[in-house]
C-alpha cells in the first residue's frame, strides 16, 4: 500500500493530529483489509461481500475486537487507544450505543496511527489478531446458542412425547 500512497508527515506531525483523523484513516485501512480478506477467501457476489464485511466493520464488532486484544498492546498503543476513546466526537451513533462507538473509534484510531507511522508489520499483526479473536469468540457464541437450541428442542419433544403417551 505504501508503494501506491506516500505518507509525507513525520511521526512528530502525526502525533499532533487529532485522534479523529487517525480514526478517519484507520476506518479506511480496516475496511480495505476486510474486503481484501473476503475476496481472497470467498467467491461471494458483491452484495454478499458487503453483508459479510459489515459483521467485521460495525462498531460493536470493532469494540469487541479491541477488548479482546487490549492486553496484548504495548503502552504507547494503549495511550493511543485512550486518546482515541476520549476524544470529543459530535457524531451520534446510528446502530450502536455511545460506549461501543467510542471504543470502535479508539480501535480505528490505533490502526490509523500505526498506518500513518508506517508500522505496517504491527498494523497487520493487530488486525489479524483482532479478526481472529472476533471469529473465535463468535464461534464460541454460536456453539453455546446451538447447545441451548438443542436442549430446548429436546425438552419440548420430551414434553410432547409424555403428553401424547398419556392420552
Helix 98-116 crosses helix 75-86 at what angle (to 10 degrees)?
130
CA of 83: how far to CAs of 15, 70, 119, in Å?
A: 11, 14, 19
CA of 142: how far to CAs of 10, 82, 84, in Å?
A: 45, 31, 31
Local structure of 63: helix, strand or coil: helix
Which one is catalytic: 6, 10, 27, 79? Answer: 27
C-alpha span between 83 and 100 (Å, rounded): 15
CA of 43: how far to CAs of 46, 47, 85, in Å?
A: 9, 12, 36
Q: 134, 61 in Cβ contact below 8 A? A: yes
27 has catalytic annotation: yes
**Among all residues, which ones are annotated catalytic?**
27
Amino acid at each position: 500500500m505504501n508503494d501506491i500512497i506516500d505518507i509525507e508527515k513525520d511521526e512528530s506531525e502525526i502525533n499532533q493530529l487529532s485522534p479523529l483523523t487517525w480514526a478517519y484513516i484507520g476506518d479506511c485501512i480496516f475496511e480495505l483489509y476486510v474486503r481484501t480478506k473476503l475476496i481472497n477467501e470467498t467467491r461471494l457476489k458483491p452484495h454478499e461481500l458487503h453483508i459479510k464485511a459489515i459483521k467485521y466493520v460495525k462498531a460493536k464488532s470493532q469494540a469487541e475486537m479491541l477488548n479482546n486484544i487490549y492486553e496484548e498492546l504495548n503502552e504507547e498503543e494503549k495511550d493511543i487507544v485512550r486518546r482515541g476513546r476520549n476524544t470529543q466526537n459530535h457524531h451520534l451513533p446510528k446502530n450502536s450505543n455511545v460506549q461501543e462507538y467510542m471504543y470502535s473509534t479508539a480501535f480505528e484510531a490505533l490502526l490509523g496511527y500505526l498506518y500513518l507511522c508506517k508500522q505496517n508489520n504491527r498494523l497487520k499483526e493487530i488486525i489479524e489478531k483482532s479478526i481472529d479473536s472476533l471469529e473465535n469468540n463468535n464461534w464460541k457464541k454460536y456453539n453455546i446458542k446451538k447447545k441451548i437450541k438443542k436442549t430446548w428442542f429436546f425438552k419440548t419433544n420430551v414434553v410432547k412425547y409424555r403428553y401424547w403417551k398419556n392420552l
